Amino acid sequence: MGVMIEGRYEAEDPGPGTTRNGAYERARSTLRDWITTDGPFTPDAGRYHLFVAWNCPWAHRTLLVRAVLGLQDAISISIAKPRRTDQGWVFDSEGEYADTELNAQAVHQVYARQRPTYTGRITVPVLWDKDTQQIVSNESADIVRMLATTFDTNRQLCPPQHVAEIDRWNTLIHAKINNGVYRAGFARTQEAYDTAVTDLFNTLDDLEQHLSAHPTLVGNKLTEADLRLFPTLTRFDVAYHYAFKCNLAKLSDYPALWDYARALYALPGVAETVKPDIYKAGYFSPSELRNPLGIVPAGPKVDWSEPATRKITLGRPT
């Protein structure tokens, strides 16, 4: 993963990615302003732009909220090319993977526009303010919450009466599942891998039990917590199961979880954000540790179009 040091882009991050026992640690996001009704960043349609990549599960969650809330016209996007290069996330000069907002050739140039002496990792998603020409946030969880709570839509993903429960699910899902698959895939010791895989599948077992009795994670409506879980589920069978050795079971081996995932997929706008072939190409890209030959497997084929038995509905503001 690329990094900028005092405004200079470096293809390899010299900082530690693992602890002494070989466990993977995710770096913290560093740009974390907020959209509020009293400014300086106000929730105005057409003011903001998202820099994303189809591969990235953290960017995927922001695209899901944008789609479910119907904010496609209010928030524009630039999509980086599916595979990173020695310049990190990059864009084409034209076409689907061109940056039409800043005409950037790489995401690190967006960070340089924010602060010429920026120091930190170069990640997506990035929420860009067109008015002030600066980054609002590069923390996906914050972007999800901002979109879910500050823009005036007729749908609700984070109702005030359920915030505490949503946050409890978010914390668990991030630690054990969203980041849990990376803790397994990037582990450098058997002990670290065993701990991560155990945490992951114990949590999947708990989710299976919960979703056997409930249509969604919180209450009986779609919330932010569901959209933060979904990106990992879409990548599980085609990528994490094989490339990250998360192979005690597949998503499709969990009847309730698999039904729940397909019900989410069937929501308006969601299917357009799911790109299994891109996930496979990304997670099986050449890696000295995980896939030295860079061979992308042909399967598995996952049929997301199979109808779910549950119906997931959107909450409405009261």
pLDDT band at 75 (very low <50, low <70, confident <90, very high): very high
Catalytic, out of 48, 118, 182, 260: 182
Instruction: Calculate ∠ Cα 73-75-78, nearest 5°.
Output: 110
Is 246 a catalytic site residue? no
Q: What is the pLDDT of residues 261-312, one digit of tens each?
A: 999 999 999 999 999 999 999 999 888 878 889 999 999 999 999 999 999 9
Q: What is the pLDDT of residues 159-183, one digit of tens each?
A: 999 999 999 999 999 999 999 999 9
Q: What is the pTM of this model?
A: 0.93
With a cut of 70, say whether residue 1 has pLDDT above it.
Answer: no
Catalytic, out of 56, 240, 265, 283: 56
Q: What is the pLDDT of residues 177-233, one digit of tens each?
A: 999 999 999 999 999 999 999 999 999 999 999 999 999 999 999 999 999 999 999
Name residues whose C-beta falls within 8 Å of residue 95's C-beta, 6 or more positions apart in sequence: none
With a cut of 90, say whether residue 56 has pLDDT above it.
Answer: yes
> Is beta strand 3-5 parallel, antiparallel or unpaired with respect to 120-121?
antiparallel
Is 119 in contact with 130 (CB distance < 8 Å)?
no
DSSP state letter for 106? B
Q: What is the CATH number of domain 3-150?
A: 3.40.30.10
Q: Positive or negative, the Cα torsion across 175, 297, 77, 64?
A: negative
Averaged pLDDT of the chain: 93
Name residues whose C-beta falls within 8 Å of residue 273's C-beta, 6 or more positions apart in sequence: 60, 63, 64, 67
- Cβ-in-10-Å burial (0-12, 13-18, 19+) of 258 comes to buried
Q: For residue 91, how far is the Cα from the chain centroid?
A: 19
* Domain range summary for the chain, segments of one domain joined by +: 3-150, 160-283
With a cut of 90, say whether residue 22 has pLDDT above it.
Answer: no
HEC assignment per residue over 202-257: HHHHHHHHHHHHCCCCCCCCECHHHHHHHHHHHHHHHHHHHHCCCCCCCHHHCHHH
Please state which of the four CATH numbers 3.40.50.200, 2.40.50.100, 3.90.110.10, 1.20.1050.10 is assigned to the domain occupying 160-283. 1.20.1050.10
**What pLDDT is recorded for position 16?**
43
pLDDT band at 27 (very low <50, low <70, confident <90, very high): low
Is 182 a catalytic site residue? yes
With a cut of 80, say whether residue 251 has pLDDT above it.
Answer: yes
